[in-house]
Amino acid sequence: MNWVRAIAGVLVLWSSTAWGATLTWNANNEPDMAGYRVYQCSQTPCTKTSGKASPLATLGKVTSFNIGTPAVTQYYFITAYDLANNESNNSSLVTFTPAGSPPPAPPPPLEAVSLTVVGNPATGPWGVSATTTSTQAVMANVFLDGVLHHVEHLAPWSFPGDNGTSVTTALFGKGTHTVQFVFYLQNTTSEIGRHSVTVTEGSPALAPLTTPPAPGGLYIHAVK
């Protein structure tokens, strides 16, 4: 199965009727296509890897599935699988909200996050100190060059670490580095703010000096 194409198409939720709500999707036409699996979550994030998704049904080559009329808000996605039981990525996510249900709670407001570079990256070890205006219990995912470096649950919020009161510093390789702090409500995926800073570690090399040609076609080149 061509897995780039096998990812189940856009999932659509038809309005509820006396017979319940129906999920529909675009058919996959790969020759070894076997069918689809329907997954259900009661909260987000809702993916196969989130730990919140439960298999609801394993289907053949159909393009719809009736989910009935759940009493509470539910989230759904589907995957395609082939004859060897290889499974595609998730489809789009749809939400079923029972009639008369209150709307989902809005996400928490974003808080201001500020970062301060500690030390001098051009000449020696450096680090980053972060602050947030949030008064709630928060945690921070700290990234170096797009890769998760560590997770902090208590202030001071710092990179690459701290001694309990102030930022520790280190070297990470000559060149440009980006540090990002993403803050969440403690032990949740509800983001409340993020900020990043980019520094250049080590002094840039000086370009060699040259002067215009001297009379007679000779060049004078400065030697460092």
Length of the chain: 224
DSSP string of 150-211?
Answer: EEE-SSSEEESEESSSSEE-B---SEEEEEEEEEEETTSS-EEEEEEEEEEESPPPPPPPB-
pTM of the predicted model over 0.85: no
- Range 3-15 average pLDDT: 52
The answer to whether position 220 is within a domain reads no
Question: What CATH number does residue 143 fall under?
Answer: 2.60.40.10
**Which of the pair, 13 or 207, is modelled with greater confidence?**
13
Nearest to 94 by CA among 27, 11, 26: 11
Q: Are residues 118 and 87 in the same domain?
A: no
Share of the chain above pLDDT 70, in %: 78
pLDDT of the residue at 50: 82
Pairing of strands 138-144, 94-96: unpaired
Question: Do 111 and 133 touch, CB atoms closer than 8 A?
Answer: yes
Span of 19-23, 45-49, 52-56, 124-128 with lowest mean pLDDT = 19-23
Residue 204 CB coordination number (10 Å) = 9
Residue 164 buriedness (CB in 10 A; 0-12 / 13-18 / 19+) = exposed
What are φ and ψ of residue 96, in 5° steps? -105, 125
How far is Cα 76 from Cα 95, in angstroms, rounded to an integer?
6
CA 186 to chain centre: 17
Q: Are residues 90 and 155 in the same domain?
A: no
| Alpha carbons within 13 A on the beta-carbon side of 221 | 6
Amino acid identity for residue 9 in this structure: G
Q: Does the structure show a pLDDT above 50 at 114?
A: yes
Q: Are residues 73 and 151 in the same domain?
A: no
Q: How many domains does the chain have?
A: 2
* Residue in the structure block whose two tokens are 């400065």: 222
Please report which confidence band the pLDDT of residue 10 belongs to, taking 50, 70 and 90 as the band edges. Answer: low
pLDDT of the residue at 220: 46
**Which of the pair, 182 or 12, is modelled with greater confidence?**
182
Q: Are residues 16 and 90 in the same domain?
A: yes
Tokens (6 digits) for 15: 């309005």
- Range 196-204 average pLDDT: 88
**Cα–Cα separations (whole angstroms), residue 221 to 2, 207, 210:** 59, 12, 5
In terms of residue numbers, what domain contains 61? Answer: 3-96
- Range 78-86 average pLDDT: 89
- Range 101-116 average pLDDT: 76
| Alpha carbons within 13 A on the beta-carbon side of 10 | 2
The answer to whether position 49 is within a domain reads yes
Q: Does the structure show a pLDDT above 90 at 103?
A: no
Q: Are residues 8 and 87 in the same domain?
A: yes
The answer to whether position 104 is within a domain reads no
pLDDT of the residue at 5: 43
**Which of the pair, 224 or 31, is modelled with greater confidence?**
31
Question: Do 22 and 55 touch, CB atoms closer than 8 A?
Answer: no
Q: Are residues 121 and 197 in the same domain?
A: yes
Peptide bond into 156 cis (omega under 30): yes
How far is Cα 181 from Cα 158, in angstroms, rounded to an integer?
9
- Range 43-61 average pLDDT: 89
Q: Which of 61, 96, 131 is the last residue of a domain?
A: 96
Q: Are residues 70 and 128 in the same domain?
A: no
